[in-house]
Structure 1
Amino acid sequence: MEQPVISLRGATASLGSRPVLRGVDLAVHRGEVVALLGANGSGKSTAVRAVVGQVPLTGGELELFGTPRRRFRDWSRVGYVPQRTTAASGVPATVREVVSAGRLARTGLGPTRKADREAVTKALELVGMADRIKDSVNALSGGQHQRVLIARALAGEPELLIMDEPMAGVDLASQEVLAKALREEVARGATVLLVLHELGPLEPLIDRAVVLRDGCVVHDGPPPQAVGQHALPGHDHVHPHADPAAEPIRTGLLS
C-alpha cells in the first residue's frame, strides 16, 4: 500500500504534566478526508498540533509523506488552519496581506510573482471573499475571519490540508461556502484532516471518522450516523461499534 500522508504510531503527548495523547495510532492516506471527533479535552486539537509540530510528542512516531517528523522540511506541502483567532491579532493588515502569507512556504521572502497573486485571488474566490481583498481584516465578522484563514491555507496550494474546528462559531452560510471550497480542494486531490465538533455540511465529504476519548482512539471507521434523537444537541452518541458494556462514547459530535 502507498505510504500514508500522515502516520502516527503509538503517539503520546502531554500538556504540562497532564498526559493528553495516550498511544494514538492514526494513518491518513492520499486523497482521504478524515474527521477527528471527540468531546472537549479528548485530545483532538493536541493530535493535529502534534502533526504540524506545535506540540512535541513524548513518545511514539510521526511521519509526514513518509519522512520522520524531525527530518521533514517540505512545509509548502502542508496547509494548516488553526482554531479561529483573529486573522491578524490586532495588527492592521488587509485581507490580501493575510492570505498572501500563505504563499511564504513556497516563495520565502522573495518578490511576489504573478503565480502568487493568482493563487491568492483564487483562494479568496473559493471562500467567497474576493470582493473584500483590499479591506482590513479588523473590519470582518467572525465567519469572514475564518474564511480568510482558510484562504490563507489554500493559497499555498497544499497537498495536505489540516483544519482545527474550521466550522466553530461560523454561521450556516459561511459553513456552506467552506464546504464548497473543501469539495473543490478534494476534487483536485488534496488530503484533508479535520477536527470537527459536528459534521454539519461537511458530512458528505468525510471518508472516515476517528473518535478520540481521553487521548485514545475508540473508533476508526465510517462516520457515526446522527439521526432522530441523536441529532439533538447534547445527546450522547453511543457508537454501534462500541463495547456495549463500556460507558457511552461521548464523541462531542453533537454535544
Structure 2
Amino acid sequence: MDDAALNEQAWTTYGKHHIERGTCLSEPERLDWGFWSTGPGAEVLGDLAGKRMLDIGPGTGRYPAHLARSHKAIVDAVEVSPTQYLRATTRYGDVPGVHFVQADAVEFLQRETAPVYDVAYSVHGLGYIDPHQLLAALAPRVREGGSLVFSVLHTNKDGAGPEVTVAPRDEVLPLAGGGELVVRMWVLSPLLWEDLLVEGGFLLEHISVLRAPEPSNPVACTLIVARRSSSAEGE
C-alpha cells in the first residue's frame, strides 16, 4: 500500500472510531497551530474578511467553521477521509462561507475547475501528503502574493526530531480509549521545508518551532508562513 492510501485508510478508521464513540469536540476560541493554546493564532493569516481560502485536511471542520464565523472568510475545506468528512459536514455543513469537499487534496487541486485562492493553510494536515506532489499542484492555485501557512510535526512524543532527507516515516496516531494506528508522515527539518517551498514557487517569510509548555514534553511543531512568488521573483 502506498503512503497516500495508507494515510487515507488510517484517518478513515480514526474517524469511524470517533463516530462510534460519539466524540463531540468543543468549539475553538482560536486557531491553534500546535497542540496547545500557545503561540500565534489566526493573525498569521492576515485579514481574512471576504478572502477565498483553502484548508488542506480540515478533519472535523472546527477551524474552517471558526474562520468563516469569526473572520468572515470563504473556505473550501478538502478532506480525504470519508468519515472525517462526515463528522465535519454533520456538524458544520450548514455554516455559511464553508464548503467541504471529500477528495484527495492533490487530485482536487489538479482539477481544471479548482479555484485560485488568496490563502491556503493547513493545521497538521500537510505533513501527511508528499510535499513534492502537493506543492506542485498547489502553486498554480494560490494567487501571486497569496499566502501559504501550515503547521507540521517537528519532534514526536519519543523525541525523534525532523528528518534531513525528503522521505516519509512511520508515526503513531493514537485512538481515544486505547489502540493506535500507523501513518506515514513527512517530518522534515525547517531547511528542507524552505528548499521545497522555493522549488515549488513559494518564498519563505517566517518559520518557527512551537514547543510544548511543559519542559518534559518533547513534542514540537513547525509553523511555516510563506508567500506565492510572482513571475518576476521566480526569474
Task: Please indicate the TM-score interval, normalised by the length of the shorter structure.
Answer: 0.3 to 0.5
Q: Which has the higher contact order (CA 8 A, sep 6+)?
A: 1
TM-score, structure 1 normalization: 0.30
TM-score, structure 2 normalization: 0.32
More strand by share: 2
